[in-house]
Structures are given as structure tokens and as C-alpha cells.
Structure 1
């Protein structure tokens, strides 16, 4: 039996069990390997340092240490680590913090399969072609150049996601 190639190794850091389960199910069904999960920022940061995955899905709002703080910690220790932020909060400060922090993409909750895969695939391309992801902008289904555009794209992503059913595991 021929085994399909793994598209990438991913760590999911989110305090919501359902969100982790939905992301895991979707990513595994699309050929990614989820190599670790954590339910808070501290445990997630330790896991990222230990495992060094191809990509991290990192929730913004979590107990102990929030995702933007973890993003900064990751950048300090592993400057080339690709991180996609996961959030229901698309306000300007959150988007700007993610851009400044070097996030490679944004998944807006509630999410749908197509938007998640679009963000993950765009970010995974940076693993190969752009190791310094912070210099490349923040893809939200398509790259954006300015914080205003990122905020508008994230808000559009959120309104699209609200009209479609969430991804199923």
C-alpha cells in the first residue's frame, strides 16, 4: 500500500476543545499531520519549542498567556516558525498585533473548511519560499499589504464564515 505524502506537520494551540477537534479533523482529512495540541499559551509555547512543527495554528484569546504574547515568544526563539492566528476577534488592534508579530495568516472563527484550508495552504507556501514570514504580510485567503486592508479582509472573512456552516470533524 502506498502512503500519501504528508503536506506538513502542525501544532494546534487553542483553549476550546471543539475548535481543536474541528481543526484537527479538517487538517488530517486534507493530508496534514497534527503532531501536537495544547489548550493554553504556556503549554503551547513549550510544545512549539520542543516539536518545531512546520506550522502552528495559534488562538489569540487563551488562559495563562494569550496568543499574541506566545507569537512574540515564538518569534524570539524561532524567528522562522510559521504561525497562523486563530481568532473570533478581528478588531484593528488584534490584526495589527498579529501583523507586527509576524503571523503568516489568520483563521477567523467561526470558520469554514475552504477558508481554513486557503489560509493554511498560503502559510505553508511560506515554509518553502519565504522563511521570514513577518516580512511578507498577512494572508487572509489572499495577501494584504496594510493593516487597514488586513482588518477589512479579516472582517470580510468573518462575515463569509458567519453565513456558512462551520467545518465538521
Structure 2
């Protein structure tokens, strides 16, 4: 799969792990944001094929970033990233229009499936 991806996560370590997985899947990581506000700005600049948005980020969380991006770009493909204890937030992200989601800790297969599903 060849897709241009923007990663948004406040953890440098998580961005690094996710970037490695995406590159192995054939994706090109075109940007990395450390909070939701930066993700919105970078999305506007880069217009990636897909963006991954961590649910819990400072300044603006992933759900607020998802809503902001969708307001400007209704066809945006956005994949939400959450933790096992964030089921309610994942449901909120689905209602807000996420194209898919996967959970931490990352599993390569789940990441690839979520990106592929978002691209369809």
C-alpha cells in the first residue's frame, strides 16, 4: 500500500514506532505532529492521504482535531489511535467520523488494516 501519512501523537517514542510500521507497509510518512492543533495545521499544509490521530494529546486532543479537520475537509481519511481503557473515546471518535481506529500497543497487522480500510 502506498499512502502519504501524517502521524499525530504527543509521544516521540510512539511516533517512531508507528512510523517504522507504516514505512514497512509501504507508506510514506510526510509529517509528524506532537499535538492536535499542530495536526490540524499540518493536515492543511500537507494534505496527506491518511492521518493517524492519538486520542489523548495536549492543546487539542485527537477527537477535537478530527472534528476540526473534518469541518474543513469532509472527505479526510482520519484514523484514531487509542488505548484499551479509552473505549468511550473511541466510540466518540466513530460518531465524529473517524475512518477507522487501532489500539496501543501497536500491532503491525492492525495498523495496516486500519490504513487500508481508511483508503477504500
Q: TM-score, normalised by structure 2?
A: 0.94
Choose the corresponding residue for 2:17, options 22, 32, 37.
22
Query: Bigger radius of gyration, 1 or 2?
Result: 1
Q: 1:12 aligns with which of 7, 15, 33?
A: 7
Query: How many angstroms does 1:33 deviate by?
Result: 0.5
1:95 is aligned, of 90, 94, 101, to 90
Q: Report deviation, 1:89.
A: 4.6
For residues 118 and 90 of structure 1, the distance between their equivalents in structure 2, rounded to whole angstroms, comes to 21
Q: Residue 18 of structure 2 contacts residue 106 of structure 2 at CA under 8 Å; is this kept in 1?
A: no
**Cα offsets for 1:75-111 (capped at 9, x unmatched):** 1111100000011155443122111110011110012
Local SS of the residue matching 2:31? strand
How many residues matched?
A: 120
Structure 1 residue ranges, 4+ long, deviating more than 6 angstroms after superposition: none
Supply the distance in 1 between the matched residues of 2:69 and 2:84 (Cα, whole angstroms).
21
Cα distance in structure 2, aligned partners of 1:109 and 1:100: 20
Q: CA deviation at 1:123?
A: 1.2
**Structure 2 spans left out of the alignment, 5+ residues:** none
Q: Could you say which structure has the higher strand fraction?
A: 2
The partner residue of 2:53 within 49, 55, 58 is 58
Return closer, same or farther for 1:11/1:112 CA change in 2, 3 Å cut-off: same
CA contact (8 A) 1:84 1:120 kept: yes
Shift in CA distance, 41/113, structure 1 to aligned 2, threshold 3 Å: same
Listed as ranges, the matches of 1:122-161 within 5 Å are 122-125=117-120
